[in-house]
Amino acid sequence: MFGSHLSIAGSMCNALDEAESLGLDTVQVFTKNQQQWKAKPLDATTIDSWRSRVAELGFSGRTVSHASYLINLASPDDALWAKSIDLMTDEIERCEQLGIPFLVHHPGAFTTSTREAGLARIARAYRELFTRTKGYRVVSCLENTVGSGSNLGREFTELAALRDLILNDAVEAQRLGVCIDTCHAHAGGYDLSTFAAASQAIDRLEAELGLQWVRVLHLNDSKGALGSRLDRHEHIGRGTIGDAGFQAVLRRSEFANIPKILETPKEGEDGSELWDTVNLRRLKALQQGSSVEPISISTAKPEPAKSKGKGSFQRSPSPRGKSRTAPSAKPIPRSRPERASQKNPKSGRRGKAERA
């Protein structure tokens, strides 16, 4: 189930039309201008046309919204924290109105306080959010981050701790989920650059969080190196993750039926093709095991996506004997590399999706 973050410029339905023309199975959108605190409420026409178009395309139950970057539920500043809760409430309400089941957001940054205080602050914010939106079906998904500055949510264990804190106070477990971004994971220190290493990272995610909590995947390659804490998305197969890591992710049966969203750059084009077309084709090829050019690994034979047994591909002999997927992967430096410079919050609207 592949989608892409697409623009709602002009009309919300434009994103749906574009998704259809790209041959996608779903879409991710901002339901408002993500750089503004206030948005005018959705009108009935917008809601109706979005809902009927979603149904027509068969996208029901799989669309995704990304919350505004202005929101910081971990902020120690009371005014900013209250504003963040108000805006997040608005985001949840808009999703509920539009029938968007998944709302992805970054956990937040603790800035001048501490990690623990920041996590507690998010949990308290959630208590308020779930109270205000009681009975709603929208699943709020905490997205993993590269962990730059004081941003929370880099480590799988931290996401799990945050989930537990939130669920201590709220009983609505079905309204909470996690979104895993491959670029953020890799740049955050989880090696996804070989089939074996990526399989190991997914196993860690399974052990430390539980794969059933992962409701959305963001599939982005990374411009930054492993552990660089640089949040810069690259086209699939062309970054520091590469094809093999995506194969490992795409062939996990647990991820088979969740939305997988591209947030890769759109600028320019590859030859005469749109980048989304190029990246989608590559993902599909990697999922099916057919060869892609320039593929960096070779696999024995295509296996159905539902094939069980983690790492079964590691054992598959390579027909050309050139598999880079053997567990000879370089040791994973788990140390903290130098601080990456903070992402520039001011750049073009389209470029935003690159850092979502």
* Torsion from C-alpha of 57, 58, 59, 60, nearest 10 degrees: 130
Distances (CA, A) of 117 to 66, 73, 171, 271, 310: 25, 11, 22, 49, 37
Q: What share of the chain is helix, strand, coil (3-state, %, to 5)?
A: 40, 10, 50
Does 356 sit near Zn ion (CB under 5 A)?
yes
Cβ at position 47, least distance to Zn ion in Å: 26
- Which is closer to Zn ion, CB of 64 or CB of 161? 64
Q: Does 90 bind Zn ion (CB under 5 A)?
A: no
The CB-of-280 to Zn ion minimum distance in angstroms stands at 17
Rounded CA separation 88/138 (Å): 12
Check residue 352 for interaction with Zn ion (CB under 5 A).
Answer: no
Give me the 270-309 binding string for Zn ion, x by CB under 5 A, dash otherwise: ----------------------------------------
Applying CB under 5 A, the span of 93-101, 119-127, 147-155, 347-355 interacting with Zn ion comes to 347-355
Give whichever of 172 and 234 is closer to Zn ion, judged by the CB atom.
Answer: 234
Measured from the CB atom, the residue of 68 and 133 that comes closer to Zn ion is 68
Give min distance, CB of 143 to Zn ion, in A. Answer: 6
Residue 302 near residue 286 (C-beta atoms within 8 A): no
CB within 8 A of 136, min separation 6: which ones? Answer: 92, 93, 96, 175
Q: How many Å apart are CA 129 and CA 122, to the nearest integer?
A: 10
Residue 221 touches Zn ion, criterion: CB under 5 A: no
Q: What phi and psi, each to the nearest 5 degrees, are found at residue 65?
A: -120, 145
If you write DSSP's letter for every residue of 38-78 in order, what string do you get? --PPPPHHHHHHHHHHHHHHT-TT--EEE--TT--TT-S-H
What is the rounded CA–CA span in Å between residue 242 and residue 192? 8
User: CA 110 to CA 152: how far, in whole Å?
Assistant: 7
Which stretch, 75-83, 227-235, 252-260, 344-352, contacts Zn ion (CB under 5 A)?
227-235
By CB under 5 A, tell whether 218 contacts Zn ion.
yes
Question: Quick check: helix, strand or coil at residue 86?
Answer: helix
Specify the residue, 92 or 356, whose C-beta has the smaller distance to Zn ion: 356
Query: According to CB under 5 A, which one of 90, 155, 231, 243 is a site residue for Zn ion?
Result: 231
Spatial separation of the C-alpha atoms in residues 319 and 297, rounded to whole Å: 11
**7-46 mask for Zn ion (x: CB under 5 A)?**
----------------------------------------
Q: Which is nearer to Zn ion, 163 or 186 (CB)?
A: 186
Smallest distance, Å, CB 119 to Zn ion?
20
Strand (E) or helix (H) holding 84 = helix 78-98
Work out the burial of residue 174: count CB atoms within 10 Å of its CB; fewer than 13 is exposed, 13-18 middle, 19 or more buried: exposed
Q: Among residues 128, 172, 181, 234, which is the contact residue for Zn ion, using CB under 5 A?
A: 181
Note whether 187 binds Zn ion by CB under 5 A. no
Q: At its nearest, how many Å lie between Zn ion and the CB of residue 270?
A: 21
355 lies in the binding site for Zn ion (CB under 5 A): yes
Which CB, 121 or 355, lies closer to Zn ion?
A: 355
- Site residues, Zn ion (CB under 5 A): 181, 218, 231, 355-356
